[in-house]
């Protein structure tokens, strides 16, 4: 059996992974709030935990791994979008979930075993909240139900901060009905025109944190193996999940292993609409970046390190994938190389696994390359339509080189410049040097446009 080692955010160390139930693995990852397109930062945990999902399926068997990732479809941002557009909330959430599936499918992400919608588990949330009140861990005030943070002695263990430090260093909602500034909302009233459900505390809707606790319990039980998400969720979302889940089900352990991926930047800067560097996954796809290329850029950085999306990285990734796809075209996959399995099993060292793929290509083990790449969600047949691997740009490179040589003698560069412009318009990167002319298909490469050069 392969030994998998994962960094547990709660213990702050790398640990050997052993399932709670022998031969069965359970994983929960926080999913999107469905009011708009997923941006490229949202996609990073999708790729990270999809890679872990693939590894777990390889090691334990596809039927032995249960992976749940939720959709938050009740939220004030969704309500605001409905008010702005005049559209029914269900229409907005259904459409957004459809977009999410399209975009994540384009990145080669497998669909999780379960994709629960929060609105389908309101009854489970109400039941959990009722149990917390009965146990003295929550209280009703002014139509709200709040979790009593100081009733859970271990609060702050995940993020490594005391409650008093959190109050001093973080902005918390100050409300007159709170017993303590750190207490957080489990249930809140809904005014006219806002979605709500009948409950023992009046017509209202759940707070954000309770949904993941209720859904993970219903789907995976009071104890499960792995809980994942972006580092931005560690506090308060995951801290609050632990508190309410452990108080609601004191005989369980909730999540055994916690994993958090670091954040994403664009060209070395924090992604921000004000900086003009904010991109959705669909933006990149529409700009001509194949989903497989986006995925390889993500995999090139270890999930525990900040990731920088750059045009240069995307160009390099596209060149690598075109080369590999050209090599494995028509090749039947064998078994993944053990070196790739071992490297990925060491805390999802995807960058190390990519290095092994380069070794396999150099060694000529093309069947192993194809099978090993599939472990990372790469080089799978259904993902390769973009690559146009059979296009040979050599004739155009030779023609451009000849035109350039003629231009050097005649000092008339117009013909060479015109051909270069046509190549660029076809999505070809033109690299001129003393040694000659190299043409590389780039983002948005369109082989049909090369016909104009014939």
Label residue 330 left, alpha or beta by phi (over 0 means left) and psi (-120 to 50 means alpha). Answer: left
Contacts of 322 (CB under 8 A, 6+ apart): 387, 389, 440, 441
- What's residue 351's pLDDT? 98
Domain ranges (residues) in the chain: 19-264, 311-383, 394-453
Sign of CA dihedral 116, 120, 124, 127: positive
- Residue 256, number of CB atoms within 10 A of its CB: 18
> What local confidence, expressed as pLDDT, does residue 171 receive?
55
> And the tokens for 377?
């969600």
pLDDT of residue 172: 58
**134 φ/ψ angles, rounded to the nearest 5 degrees:** -60, -35
- 243 touches 138 (CB < 8 A): no
pLDDT value, residue 154: 95
Check: CB of residue 163 under 8 Å from CB of residue 156: yes
For every residue of 141-156, DSSP letters joined together read ETTEEEE-GGG-TTTT
Q: How far apart are CA 147 and CA 376, in angstroms?
A: 41
* Rounded CA separation 32/51 (Å): 18
| Domain range 19-264, CATH architecture | 3-Layer(aba) Sandwich (3.40)
> For position 235, what pLDDT does the model report?
94
Question: What count of Cα atoms within 13 Å lies in the side-chain half-sphere of residue 454?
Answer: 5
Neighbours of 82 (CB within 10 A): 20
Q: For 311-383, CATH number? A: 1.20.120
Residue 276: phi and psi, rounded to 5, are 75, 20
pLDDT of residue 443: 63
Give per-residue burial for 409-425: e unless 16+ CB within 10 Å, then b: eeeeeeebeebbebbee
In the block, residue with structure tokens 């809707």: 205
Strand, helix or coil at 157? Answer: coil
Contact 85, 92 (CB under 8 A): yes
Strands (E) in 197-241, as ranges, are: 204-206, 223-230
The tokens describing 442, both together, are 């780039």
pLDDT at 255: 98
Tokens at 354, concatenated: 């990519």
Sign, CA dihedral 255-303-324-361, equals: negative
Q: What is the pLDDT along the chain (454 residues), one digit of tens a residue?
A: 799 999 999 999 999 999 999 999 999 999 999 999 999 999 999 999 999 999 999 999 999 999 999 999 999 999 999 999 999 999 999 999 999 999 999 999 999 999 999 999 999 999 999 999 999 999 999 999 999 999 999 999 999 987 776 665 455 566 889 999 999 999 999 998 899 999 999 999 999 999 999 999 999 999 999 999 999 999 999 999 999 999 999 999 999 999 999 999 999 999 988 888 899 999 999 999 999 999 999 999 999 999 999 999 999 999 899 889 989 989 999 999 999 999 999 999 999 999 999 999 999 999 999 999 999 999 999 998 888 645 778 888 888 889 888 988 899 999 889 989 988 888 888 888 777 788 877 666 777 777 777 6
Residue 359 phi/psi, 5° resolution?
Answer: -60, -45
The whole-number pLDDT of residue 389 equals 44
CA angle 309, 311, 317 (to 5 degrees): 85
């Amino acid at each position: 059996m392969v030994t998998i080692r994962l960094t547990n955010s709660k213990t702050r160390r790398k640990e050997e992974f052993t399932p709670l139930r022998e031969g069965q693995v359970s994983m929960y990852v926080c999913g999107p709030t469905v009011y708009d397109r997923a941006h490229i930062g949202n996609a990073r945990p999708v790729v990270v935990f999809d890679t872990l999902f693939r590894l777990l399926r390889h090691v334990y068997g596809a039927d032995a791994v249960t992976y749940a990732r939720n959709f938050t479809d009740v939220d004030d941002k969704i309500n605001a979008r409905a008010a702005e557009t005049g559209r029914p909330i269900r229409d907005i959430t259904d459409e957004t979930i459809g977009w999410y599936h399209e975009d994540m499918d384009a990145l080669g992400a497998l669909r999780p075993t379960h994709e629960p919608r929060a609105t389908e588990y309101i009854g489970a949330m109400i039941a959990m909240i009722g149990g917390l009140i009965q146990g003295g861990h929550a209280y009703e005030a002014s139509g709200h139900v709040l979790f009593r943070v100081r009733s859970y002695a271990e609060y702050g263990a995940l993020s490594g901060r005391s409650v008093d430090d959190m109050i001093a260093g973080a902005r918390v909602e100050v409300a007159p009905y709170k017993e303590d500034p750190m207490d957080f909302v489990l249930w809140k009233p809904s005014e006219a025109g806002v979605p709500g459900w009948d409950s023992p505390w009046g017509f209202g809707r759940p707070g954000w944190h309770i949904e993941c606790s209720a859904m993970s319990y219903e789907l995976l039980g009071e104890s499960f193996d792995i809980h994942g998400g972006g580092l931005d969720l560690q506090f308060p979302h995951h801290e609050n999940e632990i508190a309410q889940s452990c108080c609601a089900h004191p005989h369980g352990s909730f999540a055994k292993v916690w994993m958090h991926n670091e954040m994403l930047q664009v060209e070395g800067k924090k992604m921000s609409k004000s900086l003009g560097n904010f991109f959705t996954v669909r933006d990149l796809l529409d700009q001509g970046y194949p989903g497989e290329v986006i995925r390889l850029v993500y995999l090139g950085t270890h999930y525990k390190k900040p990731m920088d999306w750059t045009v240069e990285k995307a160009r390099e990734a596209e060149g690598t994938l075109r080369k590999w796809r050209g090599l494995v075209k028509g090749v039947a996959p064998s078994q993944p190389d053990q070196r790739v399995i071992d490297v990925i099993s060491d805390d999802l060292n995807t960058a190390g696994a990519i290095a092994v793929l380069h070794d396999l290509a150099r060694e000529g083990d093309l069947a192993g390359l194809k099978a090993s790449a599939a472990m990372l969600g790469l080089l799978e047949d259904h993902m390769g339509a973009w690559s146009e691997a059979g296009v040979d740009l050599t004739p155009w490179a030779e023609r451009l080189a000849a035109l350039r040589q003629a231009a050097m003698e005649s000092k008339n560069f117009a013909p060479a410049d015109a051909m270069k412009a046509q190549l660029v318009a076809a999505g070809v990167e033109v690299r001129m040097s003393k040694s000659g002319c190299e043409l590389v298909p780039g983002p948005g490469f369109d082989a049909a446009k090369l016909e104009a050069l014939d």
